[in-house]
Structure 1
Amino acid sequence: MKKTTLKTADTKKSSITRLTRNSKIVKAIINAIQEKKGENIISLDLRKIPEAVADFFIICEATNSTQLRAIADFIETDVKEKIQEIPFKHEGKVAQQWILIDYVNVVVHVMMPDIRKFYQLEEMWSDAPMMEHKG
């Protein structure tokens, strides 16, 4: 009798080639944010944190709700155009305070400054190596 094995999320995640900061998707997202003048751009490398939901978080700020929406929309269209990746889902486009774009292994957070200060994602994931990306 043939033995079958089920792949759990953990097994699946470890068998996939892990991303790096030099991966096409990470670079494409950061470039899109920079092109739309997103501010205080950082990436958090979550690969060594077992409970992390993604390999990377990319966090940036917008100065107003119009720019917040423009950055989020441009990330989606530019990444799709340049590397043929579409997000698994996105949230927050209605409230326009914090837009989350989930590419499964990379999660992008486009936030208004006061929301970013309140939730302090960098502090919550302080054990993850952080890199600043200048515009």
Structure 2
Amino acid sequence: MLSSLDDDKAEDVVKIDLRGKSDVADAMVIASGRSSRQVQSIAEKMLDRVKTQMGIYAKAEGKESGDWVLIDAGDVIVHIFRPEVREFYQLEKMWLPAPDYAARSAASSAG
């Protein structure tokens, strides 16, 4: 899944280990696309690759708007955002340990 995001030029990709934190999934991946069109494209290609390469029929929500697409691939949940929407919801802040979030936030502000 991470290689799919990389292939499609997703930005600011963060993987969060959810084991012991949530029964919903083992990992969460958060990424950004530069526009609604890119968010939709990244999501469509990921859904196709997950199906063809892993045999997983993942479910997706939000593809129509392209602001925030959630892909449920079973053990991994993927969120693909436009940058403004990602900043508004700040999922990393809820799931990353405080020191990791602070370091990520500082790096994002500097770049």
Sort the TM-score into its range (normalised by shorter chain): 0.7 to 0.9
Structure 1 runs (4+) greater than 3 angstroms displaced:
none
2:95 aligned to which of 106, 118, 125: 125
- Between the aligned partners of 2:68 and 2:13, the Cα distance in structure 1 is 14
Residue 39, structure 1, aligned to residue 42, structure 2: no
- Between the aligned partners of 1:83 and 1:94, the Cα distance in structure 2 is 24
1:29-66 Cα shifts (integer Å, max 9, x gaps): 111111110000110001021x4521110110000111
Question: Measured at CA, do residues 115 and 52 of structure 1 come closer, stay the same or move farther in structure 2, by a change above 3 Å?
Answer: farther
Instruction: Structure 1 unaligned segments of length 5 or more: list them.
Output: 1-28
State the identity as a percent.
36
Query: Normalising by structure 1, what TM-score?
Result: 0.69
2:56 aligned to which of 64, 67, 85: 85
> What is the count of residue pairs matched by the alignment?
100
Query: Normalising by structure 2, what TM-score?
Result: 0.83
Instruction: Structure 2 unaligned segments of length 5 or more: list them.
Output: 105-111
Q: In proportion to residue count, which structure has more helix?
A: 2
Matches of residues 46-85 of structure 1 in structure 2 within 5 Å? 46-49=18-21, 51-85=22-56
CA RMSD, 1 decimal = 1.8
